[in-house]
Amino acid sequence: MLNRVAKPTTKIIVVGNPANTNALICSHAAPNIPNKNFSALTRLDQNRAVNQIAQRARCKVTDVKNLVIWGNHSKTQFPDSFSASVNGRPVREELGNDEHAWLDSEFISRVQNRGAEIISQLGKSSAASAANAICDHVRDLHHGTKDGRCVSMAVVSDGNPYGIPDNLVYSFPVTITDGEWSFVPGLKINEFMRAKLDESTNELIEERALAFEQH
């Protein structure tokens, strides 16, 4: 139906899990719409990560910039403290060496498992937070990103500069201009980050194999 009636300029945002692979399936099912117009929501994960850093740094969430999510909207996602800043300083410098162990373990785990934690505590998912994240995602698609800011968006991986295989929907740092997103180039990927990115890549490859085996 989407392929028959939607305009080629339609933007499709997938939220239902497994969101990344569902977005990939949807893009294959609607070839009349450019696959770059399909995305999956990882902004909720970004917002959670930003909140964690703001609490730790004792600053406002608006002081935290470019803290993005790589990979799958799952427990393999990687919230990237290496590329982020607080009040213009790299997060890892702002928090100091004593906090690096927290950044590389508890922080990552807390963001990865926050959704399950909320369901465990409240008996339901965080629908209001998800709705707010969707609004953030749509607002940035409409208005664009400015002042050197980038955001998290799970998008088609084709042609990315970070070695992620093509034909996946993977969360990357992107900038947006006139409704079109672009990969943020030139970020340094260290060995620790590469292992995390590869873990999420492998999970998405497995999901893709299962999805297209059944469709």
Q: What is the spatial distance between Cα 155 and Cα 152, in angstroms, rounded to a whole number?
A: 9
Q: What is the spatial distance between Cα 212 and Cα 23, in angstroms, rounded to a whole number?
A: 13
pTM of the model: 0.93
Q: In the predicted model, what is the mean pLDDT of the chain?
A: 93
Res 114 pLDDT > 80: no
Cβ atoms of 43 and 152 within 8 Å: the answer is: yes
Cβ atoms of 20 and 203 within 8 Å: the answer is: no
Hey, is 162 helix, strand or coil?
coil
Q: What is the spatial distance between Cα 97 and Cα 175, in angstroms, rounded to a whole number?
A: 30
Of 167, 146, 145, the residue nearest 157 (C-alpha): 167
Q: Which of 18-22, 32-36, 110-114, 188-192 has the lowest mean pLDDT?
A: 110-114
- The residues annotated with a catalytic role in the active site are 73
Mean pLDDT computed over 59-65? 97
CATH of region 40-209, choose from 3.90.45.10, 3.30.465.10, 3.90.110.10, 3.40.605.10: 3.90.110.10
pLDDT recorded at residue 127: 78
pLDDT recorded at residue 119: 47
Rg (alpha carbons) of the chain, rounded to whole number: 17
pLDDT recorded at residue 213: 81
pLDDT tens profile 134-163 = 999 999 999 999 888 999 999 999 999 999
Q: What is the largest CA-CA distance in the chain?
A: 56
